[in-house]
Amino acid sequence: KRVLVLNGPNLNLLGTREPGIYGADTLADVETLCQQAGSELGLSIDFRQSNHEGELVTWIQEARTTADAILINPAAYSHTSVAIPDALKAVGLPVAEVHLTNIHQREAYRHHSYVSAIAYGVICGFGVTGYRMALIALAEKLK
């Protein structure tokens, strides 16, 4: 089975971006972790990052024919975008939402995510391990 792993804005700066909050791992480290978890779980992983809402929407739409599930860390778009959950809903694949940080513990404007309403499950606060946890859950779901 194929999982599209999407990362939203500023996650390309992981490792150097507020490491006290987001940790020292880079996005390349996260991709390595996902590829490793994917090979253990029998999932093929298509790992991407974009700083552009519309590009994320286009990739989600394309997943209709190229993926069996989507793992997404929508980053700041979690809290602002209606287009991303609309696209995810249109595609209808199981969605795992991941946040590195515990968004409920942070600023009030991070407490709500529009994606959560349409997600199969949400994982936050476990750092990069959350990606692994979400892939385990999606592999189980896709069995």
Cα–Cα distance measured from residue 106 to residue 10, given in angstroms and rounded to the nearest whole number? 17
Q: Is 22 a catalytic residue?
A: yes
Q: Is 29 in the site for ligand DQA (CB under 6 A)?
A: no
Q: Is 99 in the site for ligand DQA (CB under 6 A)?
A: yes
Cα–Cα distance measured from residue 135 to residue 143, given in angstroms and rounded to the nearest whole number? 12
Q: Which amino acid is at 25?
A: D
Q: Is 112 a catalytic residue?
A: no
Site of tokens 């194929």: 2
Q: Is 51 in the site for ligand DQA (CB under 6 A)?
A: no
Q: Which of residues 6-25 bind ligand DQA (CB under 6 A)?
A: 10
Query: Which is closer to ligand DQA, CB of 42 or CB of 117?
Result: 117
Q: Is 26 in the site for ligand DQA (CB under 6 A)?
A: no
Taking the complex as a whole, the smallest distance from the CB of residue 62 to ligand DQA amounts, in Å, to 22
Q: Which residues, other chains included, contact 131 with Cβ-Cβ below 8 Å and sequence gap of 6+?
A: 5, 30, 33, 34, 37, 71, 73, 98
Q: Which residue stretch of 43-51, 84-92, 94-102, 132-140 sits at the interface with ligand DQA (rule: CB under 6 A)?
A: 94-102
Q: How many CA atoms lie within 13 A of 113 on its CB side?
A: 26
Pick from 60, 103, 128, 134 the residue near ligand DQA by CB under 6 A.
103
Q: How far is CA 38 from CA 81, 83, 123, 136, in A?
A: 28, 28, 18, 9
Give the footprint of ligand DQA on this chain (CB under 6 A): 10, 73, 75-76, 78, 99-101, 103, 110
